Amino acid sequence: MRADLMQYFSERPDLKRYLRAEPYWYRVLARRPERLEEMEKEARFFNGRTWPQRVSRMNQGLGMTIQLLNLLKR
């Protein structure tokens, strides 16, 4: 893998974690480093950082808070 990509991954631990979970990307990026953006999109989904995933987590947290408040009212 190219040195600039290795440096980039060392600065981004979330991408490094995804790269270790999906070793297929080592081969892909070694041959076609321009596919880095595609890997980043998949890594955001893997790490739960897409907009719908964040909204879903927020809704779950809010729902749990409402349930807790309802239990405390009784």
DSSP string, 10-68: HH-HHHHHHHHH-THHHHHHHH-GGGHHHHHHHHHHHTT-SHHHHHHHHHHHHHHHHHH
What predicted TM-score, i.e. pTM, was given to this entire model? Answer: 0.70
pLDDT at 31: 94
> What is the distance between the alpha carbons of residues 74 and 58, in angstroms, rounded to a whole number?
25
Question: Token pair 């440096």 is at which residue?
Answer: 7
Say what the pLDDT of residue 51 is.
81
d(CA 69, CA 2): 53
Contacts of 30 (CB under 8 A, 6+ apart): 1, 2
Q: Using one digit for the tens of pLDDT, what is the confidence trace for 20-58?
A: 999 999 999 999 999 999 999 999 988 777 788 788 889
